[in-house]
Structure 1
Amino acid sequence: MGSFEITKRFRFEAAHRLDGLPEGHPCGRLHGHSYRVDVKLTADRLISPGFVTDFADLAPVQKYLDTALDHRLLNDVLDIEPTSENLARHLAEWFLDNLQAGLPGRLLAVTVSETETSSAEYRVEP
């Protein structure tokens, strides 16, 4: 049989710099992004009235982004190098620790895009 998937998109603005890059690499300098975060959930069955998870139940993700990351220097608020890859894993772990237990759908992946053409995805193991 098949399964269902939904994706909810969120946005936030933040700055970062990446350490350990070669001299002159633009990402080694302080710079900012308009981040896009896509949260993907899956389920084998739908709940009434036909949802994987009610999109409204994902609102705490935007609240977390707004309070913890929006308009901040990510190097100051994260204990990891603030790459898109690490940010995707951080957000997936936050979701699993703070939201997953109360939702009918299961987190499948978090994708973080820092530009229109560049993204990183962290897939959660089943």
Structure 2
Amino acid sequence: MYTISKEFRFEAAHRLTSLPPEHQCSRPHGHSYRVRVELGSEELTGPGFVADFGELAFFGSYLAAAFDHRDLNTVLSFEPTSERLAKYLAGWFIDAAPPHLDGLLRSVTVMETATSSATYHVVPS
């Protein structure tokens, strides 16, 4: 299996309203989010690619338009934990990806700090 990954960034605020008021994450705060998509394939295409990194620009454009400098609580219909955001972004990628990328997504990782991340692994169909 060959794998590639590409990382994207956006700045956003959120709060986790289901936590007790004394928990630091229940208060509004922001992160410099990094999102990494990993694609994999047993076969290479073109000059020897899993996918051309440039073909992933649609995902970066979506992140910038939908999330950059926004309050995630107002943009998303669920409590914006990194785990839920990773799953949501995996679903969005699968639905929006060009047909030649179908089935290549392996995981989406959301990093909200330099030391904290959550990964959603896509089950191959």
When the two structures are superposed, what TM-score results if normalisation uses the length of structure 2? 0.96
Give 2:21's aligned residue. 23
8 A contact 1:47–1:104 mirrored in 2: no
Paired residues in the alignment total: 124
**Shift of residue 20, structure 1, vs aligned partner:** 1.5
Paired residue secondary structure (2:114): coil
8 A contact 1:16–1:30 mirrored in 2: yes
Give 1:80's aligned residue. 78
Amino acid aligned to 1:115: T
Structure 2: gaps of 5 or more residues: none
Paired residue secondary structure (2:11): strand
Deviations 1:97-121 (A, max 9, x none): 0005232661000000000000000
Paired residue secondary structure (2:8): strand
Aligned alpha-carbon RMSD (Å): 1.1
When the two structures are superposed, what TM-score results if normalisation uses the length of structure 1? 0.95
Deviations 1:18-45 (A, max 9, x none): 0111231000000000000000000001
**Shift of residue 48, structure 1, vs aligned partner:** 1.3
Pick one of 99, 119, 122 that aligns with 2:120.
Answer: 122
Pick one of 95, 100, 103 that aligns with 2:101.
Answer: 103
Name the CA distance, whole Å, in 1 between partners of 2:73 and 2:14.
6
